[in-house]
Amino acid sequence: MPLARRLLVLFAVCALALTAACGGSDDEPGTIILATTTSTYDSGLLDELVPRFEERTGVTVKVIAVGTGAALRMAGEGNADVVLVHAPEAEAPYVASGDLVGGRLVMTNDFVVVGPPDDPAAAASAPDLPAALTAIAAGGRFVSRGDDSGTHKRELALWATAGIDPAGLSREETGQGMGATLTIASERRAYTLTDRATYLALRDVLDLAVVVEGDARLLNVYHAYLVNPDRHDGVAAKQAEAFVAFLLEPATQGLIGRFRVEEFGRSLFTPAVESPVGGG
């Protein structure tokens, strides 16, 4: 049937067109995929830093903002070139397996427990962090990230410190990023654990106040790692190395320390050079 042949030809042309439309980006000079956490992204920090690196080096950085767990998994499968993450315990296995190399401390900030300003569970008056969590467990609602992110991992670790099984709580998991989770906690008059940067960035539109802060267990540590080019094909090692070096430059570290200071009257991130945990 000639019609069928005509259609076949048309189909082949379309297939070709599709292939042609998709072959474009092969010869791009330098592109790296940075898998990172939603907190570095939602706070706007990477919007500030990445364009400077791109302008200077001509390397395009594709920032994929996912939870730390997902970012590490992407790196472990060679689907990223560099990661910026904040869950040291979760990072360790990837370092041990050799998937991640060249780990460097980039910056720190801290987690805070936030909740309704009237603090219905009276968590703010608790003597320490475990006691505050116990109070929340007894008298409040808690909203969890539930997305295997660094913040989620820390939250689970904190419940364990307080000897509480989160499964038995009035606790809901959003499965979403920090910004969305804060909004949900605010609307539902619930408590949540957040990094300070995202909380400050969104504070004006949230009905949430800081309930617990300053505990050593709330320190939030950001490391950058290179995906090991010896273990994964296609990793742009040179560009990735240049990016990590850029993050650690004094000028960049200064930018991190000054990021949105004027707006909030305090820094959102402490650069590695001044951080309490020392260089890594």
**Interface with other proteins by CB under 8 A: which residues?**
2-4, 6-7, 10-11, 13-15, 17-18, 21-26, 28, 31, 33, 38, 42, 44, 47, 60, 62-65, 77-79, 176-177, 179-180, 183, 201-202, 204-206, 232-234
Half-sphere CA count of 275, side-chain side, radius 13 A = 28
Count the neighbouring beta carbons within 10 Å of the beta carbon of residue 115.
27
Considering beta carbons, is residue 69 or 179 the nearer one to other proteins? 179
d(CA 192, CA 112): 9
User: What is the closest distance, in whole angstroms, from the C-beta atom of residue 22 to other proteins in the complex?
Assistant: 4
Half-sphere CA count of 53, side-chain side, radius 13 A = 28
Tokens of 133: 């969590």
User: What is the closest distance, in whole angstroms, from the C-beta atom of residue 245 to other proteins in the complex?
Assistant: 22
d(CA 104, CA 223): 5
Considering beta carbons, is residue 168 or 234 the nearer one to other proteins? 234
Considering beta carbons, is residue 11 or 280 the nearer one to other proteins? 11
* CB neighbour list of residue 34: distance below 8 Å, 6 or more residues apart: 46, 50, 61, 62, 63, 64, 80, 81, 82, 83, 84, 243
Considering beta carbons, is residue 28 or 165 the nearer one to other proteins? 28
Considering beta carbons, is residue 104 or 231 the nearer one to other proteins? 231
Burial 79-90 (b: 16+ CB within 10 A, else e): bbbbbbbbbbeb
User: What is the closest distance, in whole angstroms, from the C-beta atom of residue 236 to other proteins in the complex?
Assistant: 10
Q: Are 135 and 258 in contact (CB under 8 A)?
A: no
Considering beta carbons, is residue 10 or 277 the nearer one to other proteins? 10
User: What is the closest distance, in whole angstroms, from the C-beta atom of residue 180 to other proteins in the complex?
Assistant: 5
d(CA 270, CA 107): 5
User: What is the closest distance, in whole angstroms, from the C-beta atom of residue 204 to other proteins in the complex?
Assistant: 8
Considering beta carbons, is residue 14 or 277 the nearer one to other proteins? 14
Helix (H, G, I), strand (E, B) or coil at 108: strand
Bridge partners, 115 (sequence order): 209
User: What is the closest distance, in whole angstroms, from the C-beta atom of residue 45 to other proteins in the complex?
Assistant: 12
d(CA 18, CA 15): 5
User: What is the closest distance, in whole angstroms, from the C-beta atom of residue 228 to other proteins in the complex?
Assistant: 13
Bridge partners, 108 (sequence order): 221, 270
